[in-house]
Amino acid sequence: MPAIPVDAPSDTAADLPAEPAAEPEVDTRQPHCWCDDGWTARVIKNDEGDGWAVAMTRDGETEPAFVGPWTMGRDKKNPRPLDAVAFATLVKSASEVRRRHEQQMHAMLHKQVTVSVDAAPVTVTLDIEPDDEHAYATLAAYDEAGTRLAQVRVASTFKLSKASAEAWIENAFRRP
């Protein structure tokens, strides 16, 4: 077999430049920390007493959406490891807590009443824009077809009620 000169190209794998090493995959299913489906479950020491808790945090968020009790393992000292069934249940619970929180926030920031004006229903809405420094609200009136009749900016502390809506309408939609 003829010798291959050192400068000559070669087709063997040993002679090809090494490809950059792929980043090692992070194990997302450890006994006390699972990451999957946009959630991280982390078993933590229960600060309020003996035992363990599990914190469910949505990816990209700093605070857990849900913290609940976690059971002890067989040795009665250490926490039980996470598994697929427990993780799925925790994701469902944390998602439900988030959904209820979002509904509550929506209800706090968006109010609506319907009053009768000349035998026609008028819907009055109050949409609060929360802001630490410059919070405000928008008061608007709509006829039964959904056409906006008026809109004004009011203080975020404005209390919407049937009486305040009727007074606003009777005052020709001037800023209350």
pLDDT digits (tens, 9 = 90+) for 81-121: 999 999 999 999 999 999 999 999 999 999 999 999 988 99
Is residue 12 a part of any domain in this protein? no
Strands 136-142 and 148-154: antiparallel
Q: Provide the β-strand partners of residue 174.
A: none
In a domain, 9, yes or no: no
Q: Which pTM was predicted?
A: 0.64
Name residue 68's beta-bridge partners: 54
For residue 47, being part of any structural domain is answered with yes
110-119: list long-range contacts, CB under 8 Å, 24+ apart.
111/160, 112/160, 113/160, 113/161, 113/162, 113/165, 115/162, 115/165, 115/166, 115/169, 117/166, 117/169
**Sheet with 148-154: strands ordered across:** 110-117, 120-129, 136-142, 148-154
pLDDT of residue 27: 53
Full residue range of the structural domain in which residue 162 is found: 118-170
Angle (CA) 31-50-73 rounded to 5° is 35
pLDDT band at 20 (very low <50, low <70, confident <90, very high): very low
Give me the mean pLDDT over the 12-41 stretch. Answer: 67
Mean pLDDT of all residues in 7-36? 58
Write the pLDDT tens digit of every residue in 59-71: 999 999 999 899 8
pLDDT confidence tier of residue 72, bands split at 50, 70 and 90 = confident
Does some domain include residue 16? no
**How many structural domains is the chain composed of?**
2
Q: Which of 35, 18, 17 is nearest to 26 (CA)?
A: 35
| Domain-terminating residue out of 86, 107, 128 | 107
Residue 73 sits in the same domain as residue 49: yes
The whole-angstrom separation of Cα 117 and Cα 114 is 10
